[in-house]
A and B are shown apart, each in its own frame.
Chain A
Amino acid sequence: MVRVIVDGTPVDVPAGFSALQACEAAGKEIPRFCYHERLSVAGNCRMCLVQVVRAPKPVASCGFPVSEGMEILTDTEVVRRARRAVMEFLLINHPLDCPICDQGGECDLQDQAYGYGSGMSRYHEAKRAVTDKDLGPLVKTVMTRCIQCTRCVRFTTEVAGTPELGMVSRGENAEITTYVEKALTSELSGNLIDICPVGALTAKPSAFHARSWEYKKTDSIDVMDAVGTNIQIQARGGEVMRIVPRVNDEVNEEWLSDKGRFSVDGLKRKRLDRPWVRVHGKLMEASWQDAFVALARRMDGVSGYQIGAIAGDLCDAESLCALKDLMTALGSPNLDCRQDNAWYDLSAREGYLFNSSIPDIENADALLLVGTHPRHEAPVLNARIRKRFLEAGRGGFPIAMIGHPTTDPTYHAELLGDGPDILEKLLDGTHPFAERLQNAKRPMIIVGHGALTRHDAASIYEACKKLAAQAGAVSEGWNGLNILHTAASRVGALDLGFLPGARGRSATGMLRGGVDILWLLGADELPIDKIGADTFVVYQGHHGDAAAARADIILPGAAYTEKPGTYVNTEGRVQRSFRAVFPPGEAREDWRILRAFSEVVGKKLPYDTLESLRERMAEVNPVFRLIGGLARPTAQIEGQTITEASASVVSATQEEGFAASPFRPVMQDYYQTNTISRASPTMADCSRVYGPARAVAAE
């Protein structure tokens, strides 16, 4: 620790701190534009000038290291004049079009000009103008507003790992550009909008839609992937206008994937806003009463074994719990949350979790990716892997991949092979990468759904488990065997035991006509055409996608922005979201629908409030009491409801040994993976610009 004196107050800070960080530690606000905690230091905006005693002139505090006994003055006439002068220079070429700028109201330049500027301009000459750039369907540019802080250049280069932006030319002509006109290829490009301190980079889809102070802000959790990114939903007049990330260093730092941010316009389109009942082969609008009665009548006399339920990828744990309880009450053991037919080791909770935890990726020293492409499956988590890769330096964090990635993973990953047979070579140590895993102190293996949805998933997982044991990946305080989920609801559903019970059918079994009545809770990512013609389908969900078209009864539910919910991310972290807006029309919160129907069918669920339902969830599995925290990978949590029977049902379909076929990518198209993103015109645009056809052409 180093003792520095900031405005007369001594503070102790680590030796590596900059003067700016020391000032912050002392509680002093230092204005800045180019400095950003999560990016490298550029030192080119000069806004953070402070006075260091015995230094001949003001110093840029962001890049000035602290030393023992250093005295920093942040509020002297010299500093104030320096800031005013810097501000005046920055504003020389800035258009001052705040009234028509989307950044207005949340603009660093606006705020700091107000706080530290001089209040009037002495500049009467012509301002420079810069042509706008086309950076694709997500990021809008007004380059004349750019103050050249280069945060965007550093973000794309360092965090996103897609070095496409740069500052070309120099002096008066310097500008931020991709040089050759091209769309940014990052799945994290939306974060450029957040880190841009001015209105040069703003959101294209929501341009001119609302002003920042008009939003009602609600904390929530992103459901577009299984990372559990902390988000803030910003709504105006009952309509979700935009979604921005919240800071949570344990999960997403301050980033949000493009799908999570920009699929909001899908929430307003193709919505199911009233119940529908199929009468004589045609879907007819109905009241809740009619729909419930029709469904109860259809269920009348059907044995529990002939009823089944499949849960989708976006469900909150509340509705999963309510549906499971309803099915149990109806006597049905046919429950499944694995609509992609994935296989998990259900003997313990670690069998289906990302055990290392996301922040501990930064402590790993070797990584093997099996059948996963995190850049598409979890862009924010991928940024964490890249962060670790950059931190470790050349060769410090060896990464290997099994299964060909569809795009550049954004870090150097050695491609070991296309299929699982390479695992044998790693196990018997004949492959050179086996040695690197052996030498690593905290190796990580990430198994993705490219592997887990195969028929030989059990063998692959077993091989990975053996490999992890060989490499010492599972030891005191470290569990390096990880499952990367892609569905936000999956871990919550597994925690609640939303799985086939004794003699229950799995998702595939239910599709093959194993049940008379099939209840789909937002389940759309399954082969709808495989549902038997005689099966009576109930679709409870929020979007009119393929499954709703096949349904015999549609119960309109709420999207994730419209209900308070609990989600468990891929690490097993339980997080809560709140309601930002009300569901459209007749649509209702999903657990309330299930609770109401349970009464109609005479199997009343024992909870009337959200609190008592959450109490019930905690009874089923105590992890639901650990909100926000992480049950560290220790022994199995008591109360786990997964039975031996359900585990055996699942493994019955598994094949021995490895199949020869190569791993297939989990996602064909990153931008359209669920009902919300498929309904979003912005995501459709992205899919057109960045879609698979284009990716193939580029290779």
Chain B
Amino acid sequence: MNTDLKPQIQPDSFSFDGASEAEILTVLAKYPVERKASAVMPLLYIAQRQMSRLTGSAWVPVAAMDEIAQRLEMPAIRVYEVSSFYTMFNTKPVGRYHLQVCTTTPCWLRGSDDIVEACKRTTGIAALGGTSDDGQFTLTQVECLGACSNAPILQVDDDFYEDMDGPRTVALIEALRRGERPPAGPAINRSGSAPEGGRKTLIDTVHSISENK
């Protein structure tokens, strides 16, 4: 179980702050009152973001899950099941920056091993799943992030850094360490998943059918 239930790690209590409460109101409005358990995943995200905001570590403690269970009038175990099923919810503390490397086939073919290596070297993390000594970075391996055309991908918190390689990863981590947030998206000269250096097809001006003859 990818969870740490040690009492010295788990906070005794958890309560949503004002900003979170406002978010919860908009989320709950989307579901019928008797089906409010459907809001469990948005609420887990809200709790995780609040932890990130307040403690610098984006994770969901058991106390928060209990609070969510109580609010949504569902058994606590059902919340535990959801939060442990999805890898997007961290059930133990993570570093300030959560480095998530996709190592599924397309990313791996395009060199995700280099990225893992660069992450380890730059942050000093010994193995996947670990946190750096300064508590700044946590490195985890994730399954396909659905951005294969921009492989390999390194996801930092909620942002995709695409078309990465070893040196670019090192540069990114250095920037994060300086407190900068480089813009997310492709690291090479292209827009989204368009070809590198601009358009490669459909570049001729449009000819009429008669001209084509």
Give the interface of A toward B (CB within 8 A): 131, 157, 163-170, 173, 175, 177-181, 394
Instruction: Indicate the member of B62, B76, B77 with the most A CB atoms within 10 Å.
Output: B77
How far is A157 from B81 in the complex, measured between Cα atoms in Å? 14
Q: A163-B75, A169-B2, A394-B34 are in contact. List 4 more A-B contacts (CB 8 A).
A: A164-B75, A166-B78, A178-B77, A180-B5
How far is A181 from B80 in the complex, measured between Cα atoms in Å? 12
Complex: chain B residue closest to A162, CB-CB: B75
CB of B84 within 8 A of chain A?
A: yes
Complex: chain A residue closest to B74, CB-CB: A163
Shortest CB-to-CB span from B81 to chain A, Å, is: 5
Check B1–A180 contact: CB distance below 8 A: no
Check B81–A166 contact: CB distance below 8 A: yes
Contacting residue for B1 out of A164, A165, A168, CB 8 A: A168
Across-interface contacts of B5 in A (CB, < 8 A): 180-181
Shortest CB-to-CB span from A177 to chain B, Å, is: 7
How far is A131 from B2 in the complex, measured between Cα atoms in Å? 13
Across-interface contacts of A163 in B (CB, < 8 A): 75, 77-78
Check B1–A157 contact: CB distance below 8 A: no
Check A180–B62 contact: CB distance below 8 A: yes
Check A175–B81 contact: CB distance below 8 A: no
Shortest CB-to-CB span from A443 to chain B, Å, is: 25
How far is A166 from B82 in the complex, measured between Cα atoms in Å? 10
How far is A462 from B2 in the complex, measured between Cα atoms in Å? 59
Check B85–A169 contact: CB distance below 8 A: yes
Check B2–A157 contact: CB distance below 8 A: no
Give the interface of B toward A (CB within 8 A): 1-3, 5, 34, 62, 75-78, 80-81, 84-85
Complex: chain A residue closest to B34, CB-CB: A394
- Specify the main secondary structure of chain A where it touches its partner: loop
Shortest CB-to-CB span from A180 to chain B, Å, is: 6
Complex: chain B residue closest to A163, CB-CB: B75
Check A179–B85 contact: CB distance below 8 A: no
11 A-B pairs within 8 Å (CB atoms) are namely A166-B77, A166-B78, A167-B81, A169-B84, A169-B85, A175-B1, A177-B1, A179-B77, A180-B62, A180-B76, A180-B80
Across-interface contacts of A169 in B (CB, < 8 A): 1-2, 84-85
Complex: chain A residue closest to B86, CB-CB: A170
Supposing A180-B62, A394-B34 touch, asked if A168 and B81 sit within 8 A by C-beta, the answer is yes
Check A157–B75 contact: CB distance below 8 A: yes
Check A165–B84 contact: CB distance below 8 A: no
Instruction: Indicate the member of A166, A169, A179 with the most B CB atoms within 10 Å.
Output: A179
Check B85–A170 contact: CB distance below 8 A: yes
Contacting residue for A166 out of B3, B34, B80, CB 8 A: B80
Contacting residue for A173 out of B1, B34, B62, B76, CB 8 A: B1
Shortest CB-to-CB span from A128 to chain B, Å, is: 12
How far is A131 from B1 in the complex, measured between Cα atoms in Å? 9
How far is A690 from B84 in the complex, measured between Cα atoms in Å? 28
Across-interface contacts of A164 in B (CB, < 8 A): 75, 77
Across-interface contacts of B84 in A (CB, < 8 A): 168-170, 179
How far is A131 from B62 in the complex, measured between Cα atoms in Å? 20
Across-interface contacts of A165 in B (CB, < 8 A): 77
How far is A179 from B62 in the complex, measured between Cα atoms in Å? 9
Across-interface contacts of A175 in B (CB, < 8 A): 1
Across-interface contacts of B80 in A (CB, < 8 A): 166, 168, 179-180
Across-interface contacts of A181 in B (CB, < 8 A): 5
Instruction: Indicate the member of B3, B5, B80 with the most A CB atoms within 10 Å.
Output: B80
How far is A164 from B78 in the complex, measured between Cα atoms in Å? 9
